[in-house]
Amino acid sequence: MASDGRPGPITDLDSEPFWAALRRGAVVVQVCDECGRHRFGRIGACPYCGAPGGSDVEISGTGTIYSFVRAHRALTDTMAGDVPYAVATVDLDGGARMFGRIEPPGAARIGARVSPLFVDHGDWTELRFRAGDATDDDA
């Protein structure tokens, strides 16, 4: 399938499992075989206990917004129709933290619960997060 013109990831041996999982609608992080902590992205040893290696594990992709920014100026012409959009740091349930766009952008709030949203760009899949459900505390 052709790309929609958006710049996609440049994968390598460490990031390929993450991107391949997104293509099938799954979120994969790395788990330490010794201490059990999750981490993202994949690296050769645990940053918490130092154990070498690790295993890929599929997670729910749900989490909580730690912080976010709202962009009002597009980085590229391809994204001109997207502004304003929100990019958040998400603390994933079970551990690990990653960045992703929040949909809808106006729902981005610190502490908001999010779930994964898989956006197909033709030849790659982007992980965004959907914010706002009945359990959110927007106070």
Helix/strand/coil percentages in the chain, nearest 5: 10, 40, 50
Cβ of residue 31: shortest distance to Zn ion, in angstroms? 9
Window contacting Zn ion (CB under 5 A); options: 19-27, 29-37, 100-108, 121-129: 29-37
Determine how many CB atoms are found less than 10 A away from the CB of residue 61. 24
Cβ of residue 29: shortest distance to Zn ion, in angstroms? 13
45 vs 75 by CB, closer to Zn ion:
45
CB contact burial 36-45 (16+ within 10 A = b; e otherwise): ebbbbebeee
49 vs 83 by CB, closer to Zn ion:
49
H or E stretch at 18: helix 16-23
Sites for Zn ion among residues 47-86 (CB under 5 A): 48-49, 51
Helix (H, G, I), strand (E, B) or coil at 87: strand
Q: Is 31 in the site for Zn ion (CB under 5 A)?
A: no
Cβ of residue 104: shortest distance to Zn ion, in angstroms? 37
Residues in contact with Zn ion by CB under 5 A are 32, 34-35, 46, 48-49, 51
